[in-house]
Structure 1
Amino acid sequence: MVQVKAIKAFSDNYIWCISNEAEQTAWVVDPGQAEPVLNYLSEHNLTLSGILITHHHYDHTDGVAALVKEFRDIPVYGPRHSPFKGITHGVSEADKVTVYDYTFTVLATPGHTLDHVCYINDELSFTGDTLFSAGCGRLFEGSAEQMWHSLCKLRALPDECKIYCTHEYTQANLAFAKAVEPNNEYLLSYSDEVDTLRAKDEISLPTQLGVEKQINPFLRSNIATITDELPDELKINLDLNEPWQRFAGLRAWKDKF
C-alpha cells in the first residue's frame, strides 16, 4: 500500500514522504533537512529509494547531500537547468517520473523561481512553492505573467486532485483571501474549518484543487470582480481586464499584507 505522509521540517515546511509498506521503501519530496527524514525512515523501518525536487531554494534541497550519503546511488529528480547541483536526473516540461503506482507528469511552473517544476497527475500533485492552499509563492525570479500561466496549468487538473504543497501557510493565506473576497461564504466557512484544525496542531494539507478554485484568490484571477477590493494605489498601470494583471495586483497586495 502506497501512502503519502508529511514530515515536518523547519518551522512550517512539509517534506512529503511517499512510502510503500510492502517494499518498506520511500521517496521524499523537497527535503530541506535530512535529520527529520532520517528519523522518520528509521521510525517506520523504511529505506529511501529516491528524491523529487521542485526548485533550488535551500529549504527544499539542503537535506539532499546527507540523504544521498546515507542511501547511495538513489536518484534525485529535479529541474534540468537548476542552480541546485545535486540533481542526478534532470526533468523538463512533459517528462514522466514513476514512483511506485504513480506516474507523474512534469510541469514547468516558473514564477516563484525560474527553475520551478511540479509533479502532477489526476490523483495527487506536488506543487512545491507554486500553488499553496489559498495562496501562491512569492515572485522571487519570475514575472507575474509567468506565474499566472503556471497557475493556469495547475488549474486544469481535476477538482478531486489532492494538492501537496510545501508550507503550512494556509491560515495566513486565508486571512488575505478574506480581505480580497469578504463576502465569499465558502471561503469564510473553510477558514473556520482550518482554524479548528490548526488549534489542534493538525495540518491543513493536502488540499483539493476544487476547493482551491473556491478559496484561492490567485487561482480566481480570471474573475473580473476579484480585484474589487484591491487598494487604488495598486491599480495604477494595471489593465484589470487582463487576468494576469489582476493576478499581478493581488500578488503585490499580498506582498504588503
Structure 2
Amino acid sequence: MITIRPIPAFNDNYIWHLHQDREHWVVDPGDAAPVIRSLDGQKLQGILLTHHHLDHTGGVQALKEKYDCEVFGPASIQGVTRPLQDGDRFSLFGYDCEVLAVPGHTLDHIAVVLNEDGTTHLFCGDTLFAAGCGRLFEGTPQQMHHSLSRLAALPEATKVYCAHEYTLANLAFAAAAEPENPDIQERTAAARAARAQNRPTLPSTIGTELRTNPFLRTGFPEIRAKAAAHAGDTLKTPVEIFASLRRWKDTF
C-alpha cells in the first residue's frame, strides 16, 4: 500500500510525498529543504512535476544533485529526465499511471492518475483545487474547461491531491456562487474544523468536487444565473459560464 502525505512548503503549498517500503517519490517540490527533512536520511527515487511554475519546481535541481533521482514531467521543464505527454503510461511502485494533458493554468500542465489496487489517485497540480481551479495564466477558458471536464469524468471515489491549501477561500467563493447548496455549507464547516487543528483539507475526491466546486457545476441553474448576473449578459454555453465564474473569482 502506498502512503501519501503532504509536506507543507512556503505559505500554502503542499509537496506530496509518496512512499512504499524503501521507495520514495515527491510531487512538485518547490523547495528541497522540507523534502530532505521528510526523507530523514532515506533515498529519493524520483520526482513528478505537473507544470513549470517555480513554486512547483524550485527544489528539483538540489534534489536531483543530492539523490541522483529521476524527474518525470513536461518536456518544457529543465532537468526532466522522462518527458511526459498526454496519453503516456508508466509504472510507479508497480502500479499503472496515466498522463493527462490539462492546459489552462499553464500550457504545459499535466495531471497524473495513479491506479492502486482499485484506488485511484489524481495529482493535478494547480488545475483542479478543492472547490476551485487555477488561474488562467497562459491558457484559455476553453482549454481549462476541457481540462476540468476530463478530470471530472474520473471515478467519483478518485482521491484528489492538489498543490495548495486554498480550500476555505475557494469555498467562500463557492458559497457566493451557489448559496443554497447544503453540501458547500457542510464542507465549509468541516474545512474550518480541520484548519483550526492545523490539519490539511486534502485530499478531496472527485465526488466531493462535483457536489461543491462551482467550476465543475456550470450546468446547474443557480450557477448559471449567478455567473450571468456577474457578467451582466446572457451566457449560452458552459465555456461562457466558466469564463464568467473565473473572472469573478479573480477579483473575489
What TM-score results when the alignment is normalised by the length of structure 1? 0.93
Partner residue of 1:247?
242
**Which letter does structure 1 place at the counterpart of 2:30?**
G
Partner residue of 2:160?
163
Q: Secondary structure at the match of 1:188?
A: helix
Aligned partners of 2:231, 2:94: CA distance in 1, in Å?
A: 46
**Which letter does structure 2 place at the counterpart of 1:53?**
L
Partner residue of 1:210?
207
CA contact (8 A) 1:144 1:248 kept: yes
**Which letter does structure 2 place at the counterpart of 1:25?**
E
Q: Which of residues 141, 144, 147 in structure 2 aligns to 1:147?
A: 144
Matched, 1:69 2:65: yes
Partner residue of 2:129?
132
Q: Secondary structure at the match of 2:78?
A: coil
Aligned-residue sequence identity (percent) comes to 46
**Residue 231 (structure 1) shift:** 6.5
Q: Which of residues 192, 195, 211 in structure 1 aligns to 2:192?
A: 195
What whole-Å deviation, never above 9, does each CA across 1:163-200 have from its counterpart, x for those lacking one? 00000000000000000000001111111111111111
**Residue 120 (structure 1) shift:** 1.1
Partner residue of 1:89?
82
Q: Secondary structure at the match of 1:229?
A: helix
Partner residue of 2:6?
6
**Residue 229 (structure 1) shift:** 2.1
Partner residue of 2:92?
99
CA contact (8 A) 1:118 1:127 kept: yes
CA contact (8 A) 2:159 2:203 kept: yes
Aligned partners of 2:186, 2:81: CA distance in 1, in Å?
A: 44
Q: Secondary structure at the match of 2:100?
A: strand
Aligned partners of 1:55, 1:98: CA distance in 2, in Å?
A: 20
Q: Which of residues 93, 98, 104 in structure 2 aligns to 1:111?
A: 104
CA contact (8 A) 2:178 2:222 kept: no
Matched, 1:175 2:168: no
**Residue 223 (structure 1) shift:** 2.5
Q: Which of residues 164, 181, 184 in structure 2 aligns to 1:184?
A: 181
**Residue 225 (structure 1) shift:** 3.4
Partner residue of 1:46?
42
Q: Secondary structure at the match of 2:79?
A: coil
**Residue 240 (structure 1) shift:** 1.8
Aligned partners of 2:95, 2:204: CA distance in 1, in Å?
A: 19
Aligned partners of 2:97, 2:139: CA distance in 1, in Å?
A: 24
**Residue 233 (structure 1) shift:** 5.2
**Residue 224 (structure 1) shift:** 4.0
